[in-house]
Structure 1
């Protein structure tokens, strides 16, 4: 079994498309409006931005959390600055010998989004 789709609330699809396009470095894959559905592809998992969805806490894997936060649109609220939360001794939850970095930001629609990356432990 694998995850196929995750939905996130987005009141303004144009604003959400701009925010997530910048964050993900890609364009939306589909827009159906009405009824108000915007899709991005997350490596085979659909991210649905939907006017009628509840807010969800998404954790998105990015190449470098610090760089990802740095390229967010001006005025993006950073809830938690990039920081190391864990060093992986084995491969149970991440690559062994790597630090797991996380940051939390507010998206254009007010949802909290977690950003995650891994870097070799020094």
Structure 2
């Protein structure tokens, strides 16, 4: 079994679509109006932006969390937590062995918390 789709609350679909298009560097793969649904493809898993969905906390892997956070901050996005090391991967169970897992948190345009992760070589 694998996760196929994450549904995320978005009051303003245009505004949320612009945020996630910028974050992912790619536009949505489908939009349906009505009822007000926007889909992004994340390597075989979908992110669904939906006015009727609850807020969800989701995390995205990036190659350079510090640069991404600064780019988002410059764009006016609220940074809740600057990049910081959460733990070190001593084996491959949760991430590449020998890396530190660095997390940061931002708020999307709809007020949802979004986690950003980098696996940084020690």
Q: Paired residue for 1:64?
A: 64
For the Cα contact (< 8 Å) 1:76–1:107, is it kept in 2?
yes
Residues 1:18 and 2:18 are matched in the alignment: yes
> How many residue pairs align between the two structures?
121
1:71 positional shift: 2.1
Q: Paired residue for 1:85?
A: 86
Q: Paired residue for 1:34?
A: 34
Rounded to whole Å, the distance in 1 between the matches of 2:69 and 2:3 is 26
CA deviations over 1:7-50 (Å, ceiling 9, x no partner)? 00001111011100111111111100110100111111000000
Residue range with higher mean Cα deviation, 70-79 or 41-50 = 70-79
Q: For structure 1, which runs of at least 5 residues remain unmatched after alignment? A: none
Q: Paired residue for 1:75?
A: 76
Extract structure 1 runs of 4+ deviating beyond 3 A.
Answer: none
Question: Matched residue of 1:101: which SS?
Answer: strand
CA RMSD of aligned residues (A): 0.9
CA deviations over 1:61-91 (Å, ceiling 9, x no partner)? 1121112212226221111101111111111
TM, length-normalised to structure 2: 0.95
Q: For structure 2, which runs of at least 5 residues remain unmatched after alignment? A: none
Q: Paired residue for 2:96?
A: 95
